[in-house]
Amino acid sequence: MVSILPPNILSYIATHINKKDQTSCSLVCKRWTEPFLNAYWAKLEIDENKLSTMFATSTLNEVYRKNVHRVWALDLKRINIRHIGYVTQLQQSFPGIKYLFCDEENHEDESDNWMIRSIDWISWRFLTHLSIKLTSKHSGLEDIFMNLSVSRSLAHFTLNSENNVEETNTMLWTQFESLHRHMRQLEYLDINYPLSSISKYDLEMIKTIEPAHKITKITFLDVRIDGSWLYYFALKYPNLLSLNMKPCKARRPLVQETYINKYQGQLILLKTLNQFFPYLKMVQTPTHTCNRWPLYIFYMTLNYFNIKLERVVFDTHVYKSLLMDNLTKCIKQVSESVKIMWVTITDYLNAKPRSRIIFNLCPKLVELHILEHRRIEMEHLLDQCPVLRSLYIENSTTYLINPSRHITIPHSLQKLEFINVSVPIHLFNYISLRCKQLKYLKLKSVTFLIPEWDINGKALFDMHMSQLKTFIIYNYSYCFQHVRHYAIEQLENTDGNSLQHQESQEISFRTNWYHLCLDKTNRKERLLAWELGRRDIEFSQRYYKDFERRKKREKKRKDMIRHCGYAPKRFWKRDLQYGVMIFRFKSVKEYFLDEKREIDKDKHIQSHQLNERKF
């Protein structure tokens, strides 16, 4: 298999391997050496200690010198001015970098932004992505922009402030003008500075500004965002495709009032424009800004100019006096065109009980993500999103009001993920009957809400109409009690004609029975989904036929030590007393019954996630 993989595929795989494992992978064979070494050396994170190691002598350390050609990104972390001499050496040693992340460290008696001023930007002529973080005592943004004007290849620019909510650390609209005057080639702009308010006297001057036609994506903080700033951005960035408005950390409670009356003047101002982001497709915003400005006015203006958004991300902060009104109004304005939607809802201790999300009809929505919400009515969601194909719900409670309503109306849902969700178990039967195209189902840390146990200690997860390609279930529980035995049932014959022939007969299922236990193979404790053999299954079935009596006879054993709730495999019979979950499908091609994890003594160490390349 190693010889078959082409170099581009190997390079892609290498970028998703944990950095500490990339060097080991480079030793597998000669074909793997270059892709994995390139991935390992692609980005160097450099702090003061590493600087001393790299330049222990007057020249670059030999290990780094051999791999200079692989490095295309530098991340300078908290470099002090006393190491200013290394800056020139870095530039001489790594002339071909394309990405630079710069975070300097200043003290009271030191110059502001010394690193930005000391770098010879002409020598890094291939630089395309630059991210700089300025200290809270910065001054002279215009001078910094002037220094960067010689970087002709620079396309992506990120400007960060050490403290992005200080009143003294704000950015004027005239400084945006200075930035674009010196860096006309920019395509992407990320400004993590609070914006300074625009006065009504500045609006006349703003009408004559020169547009930055090359900018297609912009990110900024929502501090002091209002109609005036949107007016400026609409004139400045007419070719914008993506707009991201980051919510600041220090948020103020939103007082409920009739916003449309209070901000009618700003809505009228925005409507005086000849166009309003005519090419905009992707938007990420809170539902109200840090300064309490309701962003549904922004979405109303987009709707007024007939702008068809395709991807929208809402970040909603719910306070005591505000429930879901702003979110509902925002969704209403984009419902006709949106194809992908993310909804994140953050509550506070003084918030009232959460109400359900109300969706308008979204005829084109195919992908929906909902995070941090406790009440999601599944019938309403499926009815309002008729072509939805992928649904992801996290940290929520889903429920059914009327399971029989619209159950005969088929739905196009193909992929469903529940993460840390409480859900009534009969909801899956509803999904199975209505969403017959469902192919992928993932349940992680899900709590099944079941009215009561079967008298024989069984709980049925019934999706007998579903033909899944992939079923994944991790860390589930029944009414907050963890179950360690479960069975996967599939119809013996899924042919349609055979099913019709068996209508008057008892339908037979093929059963695979598993016990989730602790395995100590190779002296490492791992979670294992151990499959029971035929005789063990027969014993389990006899146990559940006499469940109540057998359960009462169970006694505690001193040698039955659990780790994070899991017992060793030899105690599988003891775990029968906690019941069994039966997952019934028409068919399932592959299923994964728990994550691969290691337990070091009493500490549960979850498997690391794959690193993503985030430059």
- For 308-376, the DSSP string reads --SEEEEEEEEBTTB-SHHHHHHHHHHTTT-SEEEEEEEE-TTPPPPPPPPPPP-TT--EEEEES-S-E
> What pLDDT sits at residue 604?
37
Residue 485 reports pLDDT greater than 60: yes
In angstroms, rounded to a whole number, what is the distance separating the alpha carbons of residues 219 and 237?
Answer: 12
Question: How do residues 532-550 score in pLDDT, each as one tens digit?
Answer: 999 999 999 999 998 888 8
Q: Specify whether the backbone of 564 is left (phi greater than 0), alpha (psi in -120 to 50) or beta.
A: left
> What pLDDT sits at residue 560?
65
**Selection from 105-114, 337-346, 394-403 with the highest mean pLDDT:** 337-346
In angstroms, rounded to a whole number, what is the distance separating the alpha carbons of residues 162 and 428?
Answer: 48
| DSSP string across 534-579 | HHHHHHHHHHHHTHHHHHHH----TT---BTTB-BGGGTTGGGGG-
Q: Cα–Cα distances in Å, from 25 out to 5, 15, 172, 296, 544?
A: 14, 12, 50, 50, 49
Average the pLDDT over each of 75-89, 306-320, 414-428, 488-502 and give the range with the smallest value. Answer: 488-502
- Three-state secondary structure of 235-288: HHCCCCCEEEEECCCCCCCCCCCCHHHHCHHHHHHHHCCCCCCCCCCEEEEECE
> What pLDDT sits at residue 163?
63
Residue 129 lies in a domain: no
Residue type, 432: S
> What pLDDT sits at residue 427?
92
Q: What percent of the chain has pLDDT over 90?
A: 38
Residue 398 reports pLDDT greater than 60: yes
**Selection from 142-156, 345-359, 560-574 with the highest mean pLDDT:** 142-156
Q: Give the pLDDT band of residue 366 (cuts 50, 70, 90).
A: very high
pTM attached to this predicted model = 0.85
Residue 377 reports pLDDT greater than 70: yes
Q: Where are the alpha helices (DSSP H) in 407-533?
A: 426-434, 496-501
Contact 182, 146 (CB under 8 A): yes
> What pLDDT sits at residue 49?
78
> What pLDDT sits at residue 236?
97
Residue 415 lies in a domain: no
Residue 599 lies in a domain: yes
Which residues, listed in sequence order, are joined to residue 178 by a DSSP beta bridge?
Answer: none
Residue type, 194: P
Residue type, 593: L
Question: How do residues 43-61 score in pLDDT, each as one tens digit?
Answer: 888 887 788 778 777 667 7
Paired tokens of 513: 């029975």
Please tell me which residue, 479 or 599, carries the higher pLDDT value. 479
Contact 500, 474 (CB under 8 A): no
> What pLDDT sits at residue 137?
55
Please tell me which residue, 254 or 30, carries the higher pLDDT value. 30
Residue 35 reports pLDDT greater than 50: yes
Q: How large is the C-alpha radius of gyration of the chain?
A: 30
Backbone angles phi, psi at 81, to 5 degrees: -65, -20
> What pLDDT sits at residue 488?
94
Residue 204 reports pLDDT greater than 50: yes
In angstroms, rounded to a whole number, what is the distance separating the alpha carbons of residues 561 and 520?
Answer: 13
> What pLDDT sits at residue 60?
72
Contact 513, 531 (CB under 8 A): yes
Residue 539 lies in a domain: yes
> What pLDDT sits at residue 519?
80
Parent domain of 567: 485-496+507-605
Which H or E run contains 488? strand 485-491
Average pLDDT in the chain: 82
Mean pLDDT of the region 66-81: 85
**Selection from 95-99, 101-105, 304-308, 472-476 with the highest mean pLDDT:** 304-308
> What pLDDT sits at residue 255?
46
Question: How do residues 501-521 score in pLDDT, each as one tens digit?
Answer: 544 456 678 899 999 888 877
> What pLDDT sits at residue 321?
43
> What pLDDT sits at residue 261?
63
Mean pLDDT of the region 187-197: 91
Residue 441 reports pLDDT greater than 80: yes
Paired tokens of 586: 């028409």
Residue 32 reports pLDDT greater than 70: yes
Residue 98 lies in a domain: no
Q: Which residue bears the tokens 């429920």?
A: 399
> What pLDDT sits at residue 253?
47
Residues contacting residue 185 through CB under 8 Å, at least 6 positions apart? 152, 153, 154, 155, 214
Question: How do residues 295-304 score in pLDDT, each as one tens digit?
Answer: 889 999 999 9
Residue 21 lies in a domain: no
Question: How do residues 566-603 score in pLDDT, each as one tens digit?
Answer: 788 888 888 888 888 899 999 999 998 876 543 433 33
Average the pLDDT over each of 104-108, 210-214, 420-424, 571-575 and give the range with the smallest value. Answer: 104-108
Residue 310 reports pLDDT greater than 60: yes
Residue 120 lies in a domain: no
Residues contacting residue 546 through CB under 8 Å, at least 6 positions apart? none
Q: Give the pLDDT band of residue 605 (cuts 50, 70, 90).
A: very low
Q: Where are the alpha helices (DSSP H) in 123-263?
A: 141-148, 173-182, 203-206, 227-236, 259-262
Mean pLDDT of the region 196-210: 92
Please count the structural domains in the chain. Answer: 1
Residue 174 lies in a domain: no
Residue 319 reports pLDDT greater than 60: no
Q: Cα–Cα distances in Å, from 364 out to 46, 80, 98, 360, 564?
A: 46, 53, 39, 12, 44
Which H or E run contains 25? helix 19-25
Question: How do residues 238-262 score in pLDDT, each as one tens digit?
Answer: 999 999 998 876 555 444 444 556 6
